[in-house]
Amino acid sequence: MPAQINEEHVRRIARLSRLKLTEDEVALFAGQLGRIVDYVEQLREVDTTGVEPMAHPLPVTNVAREDEPHVPFDNERALANAPQRADGFFKVPPVLDHPGGA
């Protein structure tokens, strides 16, 4: 059964994702997403009886080094190349809109 992904679905997903799409992109993505969902449906039909669920198809070994204690940077050195500072912290432009300012 073909996936029922239509242009309205794509517009809604774009709106929720805060993406601006052209009408050509909406039409293109509706077709592409429909084909992706159809493929996933085909995968659901594969008989996996006797196949053990796994997170990775190959064994994974942790290659992280051991933690070694060290003296951290002092505040002045950490902020040495900061374009802007405020009260001993990095000052960055606002990333969220808040009513009434910060």
For Cα atoms 90, 93, 95, give the angle at the middle one, nearest 5 degrees. Answer: 110
Could you tell me the domains of the chain?
7-44 (1.10.20)
pLDDT above 50 for 48:
yes
What sign results for the dihedral spanned by CA atoms 24, 26, 31, 32?
Answer: positive
Quick check: helix, strand or coil at residue 29? helix
Asked if residues 33 and 5 have their Cβ atoms less than 8 Å apart, the reply is yes
pLDDT band at 83 (very low <50, low <70, confident <90, very high): very high
Convert the pLDDT of each residue in 87-97 to its tens digit.
999 999 888 87
pLDDT above 90 for 38:
yes
User: What pLDDT, on the 0 to 100 scale, is given for residue 60?
Assistant: 82
Asked if residues 3 and 33 have their Cβ atoms less than 8 Å apart, the reply is yes
Convert the pLDDT of each residue in 60-76 to its tens digit.
888 888 889 988 888 89
pLDDT above 50 for 1:
no
